[in-house]
Amino acid sequence: MSFKRIFFILATVSVTFYACGGGSNPKKNPATDTGLTFKDVDGIRFYEVKRRFSNGLSFNKDGFMLQPTWIIQYQAPDTMLAYSPEKRGMEAFYLQYDHGKIYNFAREFFRVKTIAKDSLILQRLQVEAMVVSKGEVSDVNCTYYTQNYIEKVLKTTVGELQRPTKLDTAYIRKLAEKTYKYPSNPDTAFAATEIVELKPNSKNVSSKLIGYADSGAHRKSYAYMYPEYRVEINKSYKEFSYRFSVIVDVKGNLYVNRIQGILPEDVPHRKKLIQGIADVYLKNLLHIKPGTTLGIPHSSEITISLIGKK
């Protein structure tokens, strides 16, 4: 898994929303393939039950999980309401019609694929310089149902529909099996939704999850992909301070991967040095629980800021 890759996949509704201005009146926009427009579902509340890539999966190869969480409601003539956990209520945003079947609200672009009295399907789009990006970042389909349809027709609950599928489990198991064959390989390791845990088993060490290593990981929906721990060792052989990433396999073994703040020519020597510290100190002073996804353990990458004190 590469830490340089920044995900622009649709975040949870808990991200901060901002209204966007401009555009024409939504009630004049083209109809969808059902012949309906937003004005035909005015006042109807929809709950997001699925958020998947076009292959039907909720995960990609890097371990990113699409989580359906939005609640939306169109309000004529040009407003989209969206639930805000922070405000514990629906928040209003201007619904901007762009062109074709593309809309914008809450700083997100969507292509409307289906509008029906009991369901919506919106394709989330990543737009850069007014151009829709290709590939995975614009390959997210969000399905919404009404409460009445969920309870009376499907006879289930929102929470049940939002759960990962058997197809997701099979996919994660397949990815995990690759990490069993190549436990130290950063190319087969992938982010764990339940991150690696580092717990001290000695009074001479402390460990704390301090945040997320990637500057683009401020969105809660994918912050788990970049966990960073601060580990302090007392009574070490000398004082030192290193920041690096490690691959943690299912047995709790640590494999140093990337080292920050040094020249390329110094990497081999420094990597050997830090690997020795990881093998001697970290393995013996920490209880290391590997990361898991859907209950399946696998190799994943974490960042460690390591401080040694004499």
Position 107 scores a pLDDT of: 84
My answer on whether 146 and 253 are in the same domain is no
Instruction: Report the 10 Å Cβ neighbour count for 180.
Output: 14
Do 150 and 193 reside in the same domain of the chain?
A: no
256: containing domain: 172-309
C-alpha 41 chain-centroid distance: 30
153/181 same-domain check: no
Please state the separation of Cα 298 from the chain's center in Å.
17
Give the pLDDT score at 69: 92
Q: What are phi and psi of 257, to 5 degrees?
A: -115, -75
Cis peptide upstream of residue 77 (ω within 30 degrees of 0):
yes
Q: Are 142 and 122 in contact (CB under 8 A)?
A: yes
- How far is 244 from 267, CA to CA, in rounded Å? 11
pLDDT on residue 14: 35
Q: Is residue 246 part of a domain?
A: yes
Q: Tell me, yes or no, whether 284 lies in a domain.
A: yes
| Domain membership flag for residue 153 | yes
DSSP reduced 3-state for 137 = helix
CB atoms within 10 A of CB 87: 9
245, 122: one domain = no
How high is the pLDDT of residue 136?
Answer: 65
Is residue 54, in this structure, part of any structural domain at all?
yes
Domain boundary among 163, 185, 204: 163
The verdict on 153 and 179 lying in the same domain is: no
Give how many domains the chain has, as a whole number.
2
Per-residue pLDDT, 139: 86
The rounded average pLDDT for each run of 10 residues, N- to C-terminus, in the chain (310 residues) is 39 33 43 77 97 94 93 95 88 88 89 95 76 66 97 97 97 98 97 96 93 55 86 90 97 96 92 95 95 98 95
pLDDT value at residue 5: 41
pTM here? 0.82
Q: What are the C-alpha distances in Å from 56 to residues 52, 160, 161, 168?
A: 6, 17, 14, 9
Closest CA to 48 of 66, 65, 34: 66
Alpha helices in the chain (DSSP H): 147-148, 158-161, 166-181, 220-223, 267-277, 283-285
Asked if 130 and 43 sit in the same domain, the reply is yes
User: Are 231 and 119 in the same domain?
Assistant: no
Q: Are residues 138 and 156 in the same domain?
A: yes
User: What per-residue confidence (pLDDT) applies to 128?
Assistant: 63
Same domain? 273 vs 300: yes
Q: What is the pLDDT of residue 269?
A: 95
Which of 112, 141, 163 is a domain's end point? 163
Question: What pLDDT is stored for residue 106 in this prediction?
Answer: 87
CATH code of the domain containing 109: 2.40.128
Which residue shows structure tokens 């088993």?
Answer: 201
The answer to whether residue 7 is domain-embedded is: no
Q: Phi-psi region for residue 136, left (φ > 0), alpha (ψ -120 to 50) or beta? A: alpha
Query: In terms of domains, do 103 and 221 share one?
Result: no
* 270: phi then psi, degrees, rounded to nearest 5: -65, -40
Contacting residues for 105 by C-beta, under 8 A, at least 6 apart? 19, 20, 80, 82, 93, 94, 95, 96
The answer to whether the CB of 299 falls within 8 A of the CB of 183 is yes
Residues 47 and 117 in one domain: yes
Flag whether 5 is in a domain.
no
Residue where a domain stops, chosen among 163, 198, 214: 163
Both 239 and 207 in one domain: the answer is: yes
| Strand, coil or helix: 58 | coil
